Amino acid sequence: MFKYFTDDTYTIYLYLYNKLTIKKNNMINKNLPHTQTKTGLQITFCGKGSCKCPGIDINKDNDTIIIGGNEEGYTRFTKEQFEMFLLEAKNGTFDDYLQTLKDGL
Q: Is residue 69 part of a domain?
A: yes
Strand order, beta sheet including 40-44: 34-36, 40-44, 55-59, 64-69, 73-78
CA distance 71 to 54: 8
pLDDT of residue 102: 52
- Closest alpha carbon to 46 in 26, 28, 31: 31
Residue 105 DSSP class: -
Containing structural domain, residue 57: 32-93
Q: Is residue 87 part of a domain?
A: yes
- Number of domains the chain is built from: 1
Q: Is residue 3 part of a domain?
A: no
pLDDT of residue 38: 92
pLDDT of residue 58: 94
CA distance 6 to 13: 10
Q: Is residue 36 part of a domain?
A: yes
CA distance 58 to 66: 7
Q: Is residue 10 part of a domain?
A: no
CB atoms within 10 A of CB 41: 15
pLDDT of residue 30: 78
The per-residue pLDDT string of the chain (105 residues; one tens digit each, 9 = 90 and over) reads 445 555 655 666 666 666 555 555 577 777 888 888 999 998 888 766 555 678 899 999 999 999 998 888 899 999 999 999 999 988 889 888 877 655 555
Q: Is residue 104 part of a domain?
A: no
